[in-house]
Amino acid sequence: MRKPIAVAGIFFVFIAAAALMTAIVGGCGSQPMAVVNGVKINRADFLNRLEQTQGKEVLGDLILRALVDDSFAKAGLSLTDQELDEQLQEAKASAPDEAAWQQMLAAQGITETELRDFLAFRMKLQKLGTKDVEVSEELLQKFFEENRNMFDEPESVDLAEIVLPGKDEADKLAQQLASSPESFGDLARQHSLSPITRDRGGRRGRVPVERITPTQVRAAAQKLKPGQVSEPINAEGNWYLIKVENHYPAKQPKFEEIRTEIEDAYTMQHAKSEQELMSELRNGAQVTILDPKYQSLSEFFRPDPDTSLPTFGSGDGQPEQSEPSAPTPEAGAPAGGGQ
């Protein structure tokens, strides 16, 4: 249950900064990047356009990273390789295997190193936001008693599926799986209609039974033993074959079993708000914007600005805006910031 950072989904967002930094490092000039009806689009034009549309976002992100790193060091906080490794492994758990993981990274245009840097940034923000939270056994016990539902683990299964258009094909695959259930993943990749689970070998992952849909699939999943494959299931216009890899009964863990998770949840609930954290980062900071195109960022990064926290980076091709927009802690894209 230890998930103080929602890494499974977070790194799929805000990757524009990484794309721009990678492109800049790659060099510029007349090297063509595409040819349209005989007309070349060179790298210099590409980078100019990329800076117009994303430059303010990237500069704001880099300034924010520098402020976070400085505040983190001054606060005497630390981030270990082991902590980073645990978060990275949690992210990798969203993929069925190493090949699928690399495909996920490639599809987003980032490397594992860039993702690791991004996770470091997010974890530093989290530690800054929670460093002043007071914790005691008495407070944690009270929090646990008042929020037991938060820690209860419902009945769940590791579920995989093959979604098919008709009964004949479902019957045919069911016969194959009866003799070789280990081929379920390969058959899912070859035949399943589901765009979400097909490339993962049919894996839905660990799912609370009460959330399984359609209801016919839920009923079948509850009856299967680990390793078993269902008979064809007719539901919502399609035919399903499902496989349960593991079955986890409902559990109400004791305080001692999940004390670390309880402390994580308690500190996150009592962490500083985004506005409070950003105000702390700005106060005492000396940020000088030297490029005239991005002077509006100076307004945001001065102490106690008049601006709130609008979404940063409109993508309209205009670096200067009448009302300065600003990076937020969520805008920490994997853009080359280290630990």
pLDDT for position 12: 39
Rounded CA-CA distance 265/150 in Å is 9
pLDDT bucket at 69, cuts 50 / 70 / 90: very high
- Please report, rounded to a whole number, the percentage of residues in the chain having pLDDT higher than 90: 58
Which residues touch 77 (CB under 8 Å, ≥6 apart)? 124, 127, 128, 131
Statement to judge: residues 46 and 109 lie in one domain: yes
pLDDT for position 187: 97
Q: What is the mean pLDDT of residues 243-248?
A: 95
Q: What global pTM score does this model have?
A: 0.66
The residue range of the domain holding 211 is: 156-248
DSSP state of 324: -
Domain C-terminal end among 248, 280, 307: 248
Structural domain count, the chain: 2
Statement to judge: residues 43 and 91 lie in one domain: yes
Residue type, 217: V
- Decide the pairing of beta strands 203-208 and 39-42: unpaired
Statement to judge: residues 244 and 275 lie in one domain: no
Statement to judge: residues 16 and 112 lie in one domain: yes
Three-state DSSP class for residue 204? strand
Q: What is the mean pLDDT of residues 184-207?
A: 93
Statement to judge: residues 111 and 163 lie in one domain: no
Is 259 part of a structural domain of the chain? no
Is 241 part of a structural domain of the chain? yes
Is 107 part of a structural domain of the chain? yes
Domain C-terminal end among 187, 216, 248: 248
Residue type, 24: I
Residue type, 172: K
DSSP 205-262: EEEEGGG-SSHHHHHHHHHPPTT-BPPPEEETTEEEEEEEEEEE--B---GGGGHHHH
Which residues touch 35 (CB under 8 Å, ≥6 apart)? 41
Q: Examine residue 214 and say whether the peptide bond preceding it is cis (omega within 30 degrees of 0).
A: yes
Is the pLDDT at 219 greater than 50? The verdict is yes
Is 255 part of a structural domain of the chain? no
Is 339 part of a structural domain of the chain? no
Least trusted range by pLDDT, from 25-29, 54-58, 116-120, 121-125: 25-29
Statement to judge: residues 232 and 327 lie in one domain: no
pLDDT for position 311: 40
Statement to judge: residues 127 and 161 lie in one domain: no
What CATH number should be reported for the domain holding residue 168?
A: 3.10.50.40
Q: Which one, of 81, 96, 90, 320, lies nearest residue 186 by Cα? A: 96
pLDDT bucket at 3, cuts 50 / 70 / 90: very low
Rounded CA-CA distance 151/266 in Å is 12
Is 338 part of a structural domain of the chain? no
For residue 67, the Cα-to-chain-centroid distance in whole angstroms is 23
Statement to judge: residues 39 and 128 lie in one domain: yes
pLDDT for position 183: 95
Q: Which one, of 331, 143, 133, lies nearest residue 255 by Cα? A: 143
Is 322 part of a structural domain of the chain? yes
Rounded CA-CA distance 303/242 in Å is 57
DSSP 124-165: HHHHHHHTT----HHHHHHHHHHTHHHH-B--EEEEEEEEES
Statement to judge: residues 207 and 239 lie in one domain: yes
Q: What is the mean pLDDT of residues 196-220?
A: 93
Statement to judge: residues 216 and 320 lie in one domain: no
Is the pLDDT at 224 greater than 60? The verdict is yes
Is 264 part of a structural domain of the chain? no
Statement to judge: residues 22 and 125 lie in one domain: yes
Statement to judge: residues 279 and 237 lie in one domain: no
Q: Which one, of 121, 120, 86, 118, lies nearest residue 105 by Cα? A: 118
Q: What is the mean pLDDT of residues 169-196?
A: 95
